[in-house]
Structure 1
Amino acid sequence: MTKDADIESLRLAARALLARPLLSSGGPDAAIAAAVRRQHRDRLQQWFEHNLGWKLVVDRDVIRLNKVPAGTPCLPHDAPEQRVCVLYCLVLAALEDGGDQVVITEIADAVTALSGVRAEIATFDPADFAERRRLVQALRLLVDHGVLLPTRDRASTEQDEAEYLSGAGNAIYDVDHRVAALVLACPVAPTRAGTPTGLIAEPHPDTPVGHNRRRRHLIMRRLVDEPVLYLDELTEDERDYFRSQRHALLHEVKELLGVQVEVREEGAAIVDDELTDLRFPAETTRPYAALLLAGALTAEPGARLGSSVVVPEIRMRELAVWLAERVGERVTTIEKKPVTPSTALDAALVVLTAFRLVERTTDGVRLLPALGRFRPPAEPPEFAGPATSRNGTPA
C-alpha cells in the first residue's frame, strides 16, 4: 500500500469510529474494522487517547471507541426518551446471564424482574401498550448496535415486533455477548457513579500536565463531537489554552480527519458534509421550516450582534404565524401533526437548537453566532416576517 493510500485508509477509519463508535467484523463496516486491526490500531489508540482521552478497544470481533462527552447539556435529539434508555440498559443486564438466543417475551419477563428490585426504577408492565412500545424501541436500538441479531430478515423481525405490540408476536434474536459487554462506555461503573454526572467523572492529576490534559480533552471533544465550539462557553483558563494551542489542536484534527475547520472570533466548527449525524439544510419538512426561521431570525433587529440578542417570546409567536403560513404552502403536516404556528415553530427550533444556532431561554430565543451563516445575502422580504420596531414589538 502506498503512503497516500495508507493515510486515506487511516483517515477513513478515524472518521468511521467518530460516526459509529462500535464496529463489528460482521457488520457493514467489516472492511474498516479489519483495516483498524491490521494496520491502524496503535496510531488510532494513541491519537484518541492523547487528543480526546477516549480509549479505543480493539477486539477480535468488535472495535469500540469509548466516547465520553464534553459535559455539555444533552439536547432532545441526542437520545431516545428516558424510559427507552432505562429499558435499553435493563435489557443489556438481562442478556448478560442469558443464552445465545432470546425471544421478546423472555426479555420482557427478565426486564420486569430486574426493574422490580430497584425502588428508583418504575417496574416494567408488559401488559401496558406504551411500555411494550418503548421496549421494542430499545430492542431496535440494540439491533442497530449489533447486540441483537434477528434470526430472520429485518423486515420479518420488525413484523414480529409489531405483532408483539398487539399482544401476539414473539420475535427471536441471536445475542452477541461480546458486543453487549462493550456497549456501555463510561469512565465510572454505573454501580459506583451515584448520579448520571458521576458516570463521566474523570479525575486528572493536580499538576500542569494534568491541567493541560483536561483542557485539551474538553476542547477537542467539543470540536469533534458538537456542531460548534463557542469560546464564551469555556472558562477563561480553557479559552487561554485554546488560543495558545489553537494551531496545534486544529492541525491534529485536519491531518487525521481530513476536514476543514472554520475559526472565528466566537469559536470554531468543523465543516464537513459527511462527518455528521445531522444534515442541514435537507429536503424534508422540518429542516425546511428551520431554514425559513433561521433566515427570519437573522433579519431581526440586532441579530448581527450574535449571542447578546434574545428574540422575545411575543415576537417568536408572530414569527410562528408567518412560519406556519409559509410551511403550509408546501405541506399540511409536520412531524405527523397538522401545520400550526405551534407545531411549525417547535419543529424548526428542534433543528436550530440541535445545530447550536439558537437556544431557548425563559423569555424567548437567544441567537448564537453560528446562525449568521444562514443570513440571506440580500435578506429578501420572504425571510423578514412581520414588521417590528427596534424593541421587537409590532410596528
Structure 2
Amino acid sequence: MTDHRLGDALAAQRAAEVRRAARALLRRPLLRAAGSHADEFRLVRRHATELRAWFERNTGWPLLVDSEVARLRRTPGRADDATHPARDQRTGLPFSRRRYVLVCLCLAVLERAEHQIALGRLAEQVVLAAADPALDAAGVSFGLADREQRTDLVAVVRLLLEWGVLAKVAGDEEAFLKSAGDALFDVDRRVLAVLLASRRGPSTVRADGFEERLAELNAEVLPDSDDLRNRALRHSLTRRLLDDPVMYLDGLTEGESAYLTSQRGALTRRIGELTGLVPEVRAEGLAMVDPDDDLTDLRMPESGTDGHVALLTAEYLAGRGGGPVPLPELHRQIVGWAQEHAGFWRRSATAPGAEVELAGQAVERLVALGLLERAQAPDGSALVRPRPALDRYRVGEAVLLEPGQSAPKKNTKTTAGRTKGARTR
C-alpha cells in the first residue's frame, strides 16, 4: 500500500512538473540556461523527451533542447493574424514596418559580428545594410541623423535584449539615443542560431508578393493519405486552440470543422492534460480558458485608462444587440466617459481628439481578443462588429432572490474565455 501511494505521489509530481514546463514554453518559446528563467529552462530540459513528443504529435512544432537553450519553434495557426505584434519594451506600442525591417537587418549584422559589438558599430552596419536598392524601392530607409530613426533602432535593441540575443556589458542605449555615449553588448550566438522559426530558410523563398512569400516560408508538404491529412488537421486545430483566445467555427475550413466535430473531446482533453487549460464550448465555437490567467499577452479587464476604456467599450457594444457600430458613435461615447471618469483617467484623456486614439486602442485590444471585428459600411466608413464572445460582457438586470430561491438559468449561445495566446517568437 505504501509503495502504491508513493508511486501515485511521484506520478502526480511528474505530471505537475511537465505541466509547468509546457506552460513555461508557451509563455516564452525561447528559454536560456542563464538568466531570470533558468529554473524554467531546467524544468523543460528535465522533461524534454515527453514535451518534444507531445508538441511534435499534436502541433508539429519542433522542440530543440540542449545545454544552453530550449527553443519551441512555434508557427502560428493562422499566418494572417496581425493582432499580436512585437511591442516596444518601454512604451508598449506596436512595432512599425521600419522596426520590423530593422529587426531583420540587426540579426543579419549580428550573424556576421564578433562575440561582442558596440551599439554604434551595430548602427553603422545596419545603415549600410539598409542602403540595399530593394529596400529603397520598397520605401524603407534608415539613417542616424534622425532621432526618430535612432529611437527605432534602440527599441529593436531592447527587444533583442529581451529575447537574449544580446546581453549588456557596459554603457547605456539611452546615451546612444541622445548622442552622448555608447553601449557594449555580448552576442549570444546560440540564441541567434535558433531564433528563426520557419519551415524554410528565407533565402529559398521564390514568391514575389508579401502574402505569397509568408505562405511559402511556412508551407508544409501536402498530405497524400488519410492519416497524414488527419495529422495536418490535428496540428492546425491544436495550434489555433493554444494561440487564439476564441476559435470560431465560421473561421474553419470544411475539413477542420468536420475533424473538430468528431475529435473535439480528444483535442481538448490532450491540451487540458498538458497545460491545465479548460475547454469552454458554445454553439459558435470553442475556447480554452486559463484558470491561472498567465498564458496571455493581453488581459481583459486591465487596470489603467486604456483598460477601463476597453471594458466600457465591450459593455456598451455587448448591450447594443450585436449589430455593427460606426466608429464616430464610439468616439462620442468615449467623450462622455472621459468626462464621467475624469478624476480617475489620465489627464490627456479629456483633451480634444483624444477619443480617437482611445477608441483605436480599445478596438485593437478587443479585436485581438476575438471580441470584435473591423468592417466597412457601403459608403466606405469604418465600423466595428461584435463577435459572439463579446456577449460575456453584457450587463444584465439585477435580480433580487427570495430566501432559498435559486438564480434563473441563462440560455446563451456565446463563446467566450480569456485570451491565452503567448507571443510567437
Query: Under TM normalisation by the shorter chain, which class is it?
Result: 0.7 to 0.9
The residue type equivalent to 1:179 in the other structure is V
Q: Secondary structure at the match of 1:28?
A: coil
Matching residue of 2:355? 341
Cα 1:337–1:65 change in 2 (3 A) is: farther
Aligned 8 A contact 2:305 2:346 in 1: no
2:61 to 34, 40, 54: 54
Cα distance in 2, alignment partners of residues 337 and 269 from structure 1: 38
The residue type equivalent to 1:57 in the other structure is L
Q: Are 1:177 and 2:184 matched, yes or no? A: no
Cα distance in 1, alignment partners of residues 12 and 81 from structure 2: 38
Alignment of 1:58-207 (within 5 A): 58-79=65-86, 80-120=95-135, 122-152=140-170, 157=171, 160-193=172-205, 194=207, 195-207=213-225
Aligned 8 A contact 2:79 2:215 in 1: no
Q: Secondary structure at the match of 2:194?
A: helix
Higher mean alpha-carbon deviation, 277-286 vs 289-298, is at 277-286
State the 1:162 CA deviation.
1.5
Cα 1:261–1:333 change in 2 (3 A) is: farther
The residue type equivalent to 2:193 in the other structure is A
Deviations 1:59-109 (A, max 9, x none): 220110000011253335422222111111111111112111111111011
Point out where structure 1 has 5 or more consecutive residues left out of the alignment.
304-308, 381-395
Aligned 8 A contact 1:337 1:343 in 2: no
Q: Secondary structure at the match of 2:135?
A: coil
Cα 1:141–1:326 change in 2 (3 A) is: same
The residue type equivalent to 2:17 in the other structure is S
Cα distance in 2, alignment partners of residues 32 and 357 from structure 1: 32
Point out where structure 2 has 5 or more consecutive residues left out of the alignment.
1-8, 87-94, 208-212, 378-382, 400-425
The residue type equivalent to 1:175 in the other structure is V
State the 1:205 CA deviation.
1.9
Cα distance in 1, alignment partners of residues 349 and 36 from structure 2: 30
Cα distance in 2, alignment partners of residues 114 and 340 from structure 1: 38
Q: Secondary structure at the match of 1:151?
A: strand
Cα distance in 2, alignment partners of residues 84 and 77 from structure 1: 15
State the 1:348 CA deviation.
1.6
Aligned 8 A contact 1:17 1:65 in 2: yes
Matching residue of 1:298? 318
Aligned 8 A contact 2:58 2:238 in 1: yes
Cα 1:189–1:335 change in 2 (3 A) is: farther
Aligned 8 A contact 1:327 1:339 in 2: no
2:15 to 7, 26, 31: 7
The residue type equivalent to 2:359 in the other structure is L
Identity %: 39
Cα 1:228–1:372 change in 2 (3 A) is: same
1:241 to 259, 264, 269: 259
Cα distance in 2, alignment partners of residues 109 and 7 from structure 1: 50
State the 1:253 CA deviation.
0.5
The residue type equivalent to 1:189 in the other structure is G
The residue type equivalent to 1:367 in the other structure is P
State the 1:114 CA deviation.
1.8
Cα distance in 2, alignment partners of residues 218 and 335 from structure 1: 42
1:310 to 304, 308, 324: 324
Aligned 8 A contact 1:285 1:334 in 2: no
State the 1:230 CA deviation.
0.7
Aligned 8 A contact 1:334 1:344 in 2: no
Higher mean alpha-carbon deviation, 125-134 vs 192-201, is at 192-201
Matching residue of 1:289? 309
Q: Secondary structure at the match of 1:328?
A: coil
Matching residue of 1:374? 393
Matching residue of 2:335? 321
Aligned 8 A contact 1:148 1:175 in 2: yes
Cα distance in 2, alignment partners of residues 114 and 74 from structure 1: 29
Give the helix-richer structure, 1 or 2: 1
Aligned 8 A contact 1:293 1:323 in 2: no
Please give the TM-score of this superposition, normalised by the length of structure 2: 0.81
Aligned 8 A contact 1:259 1:271 in 2: yes
The residue type equivalent to 2:394 in the other structure is R
Deviations 1:139-178 (A, max 9, x none): 00000000100114xxxx5xx2112112222111111101
Cα distance in 2, alignment partners of residues 178 and 333 from structure 1: 46
Cα 1:128–1:108 change in 2 (3 A) is: same
* RMSD over equivalenced CA pairs, Å: 2.2
Cα distance in 1, alignment partners of residues 231 and 65 from structure 2: 23
